[in-house]
């Protein structure tokens, strides 16, 4: 896929919300449909940058089911690309809604040891301030719903410093 795909999925992922009075009425439906189409077109060959684009696209609080297509698309990536891509989108993971970040971290933790190990290793190269914030985010999700299952706890070992 082209870099245009990555830009477009991030752009379309900013789905129109119910209380948005600025967007024309047909814009919400157009953007939702295009987002699902873009997510459904993922083959898994887009590399870690494709994973990072999907993570970055999860901006809306209410997605009306559109993000299910993005979550399914993440399942088409090789485990190493998934781990590398989520780590590469660490800063964006901090800016998307908490439910979105929890879901991504759960998908990653359930993807298996290769994805988790690549993510854990790649986090060493992330800006230290971002790393600390990701560690706090993981700990938050471990104490809440998304990573509260025993099998998901203490799996994502983000370095503390």
Splitting the chain (161 residues) into consecutive groups of 10 residues, what average pLDDT does each group show?
79 74 74 90 94 93 85 96 97 92 94 94 94 93 86 76 63
- What pLDDT shows up at residue 131? 93
- What pLDDT shows up at residue 40? 95
Q: Which two tokens stand for residue 66?
A: 């559109």
Q: Which two tokens stand for residue 84?
A: 């590398």
| Burial 114-149, CB ≥16 within 10 A → b, else e | ebbebbbebbeebeeebbebbbebbeebbeeebbee
CA dihedral 113, 124, 45, 94 (to 10 degrees): 100
């Amino acid at each position: 896929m082209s870099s245009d795909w990555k830009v477009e999925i991030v752009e379309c992922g900013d789905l129109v919300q119910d209380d948005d009075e600025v967007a024309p009425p047909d814009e919400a439906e157009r953007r939702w449909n295009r987002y699902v189409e873009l997510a459904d077109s993922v083959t898994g060959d887009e590399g870690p940058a494709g994973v990072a684009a999907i993570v970055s696209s999860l901006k809306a609080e209410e997605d009306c089911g559109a993000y299910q297509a993005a979550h399914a698309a993440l399942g088409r990536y090789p485990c190493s690309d998934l781990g590398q891509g989520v780590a590469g989108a660490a800063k964006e993971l901090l800016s998307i809604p908490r439910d979105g970040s929890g879901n991504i971290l759960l998908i990653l933790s359930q993807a298996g040891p290769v994805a988790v190990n690549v993510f854990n290793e790649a986090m060493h190269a992330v800006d230290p301030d971002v790393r600390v914030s990701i560690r706090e985010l993981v700990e938050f999700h471990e104490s809440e719903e998304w990573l509260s299952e025993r099998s998901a706890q203490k799996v994502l070992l983000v370095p503390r410093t």
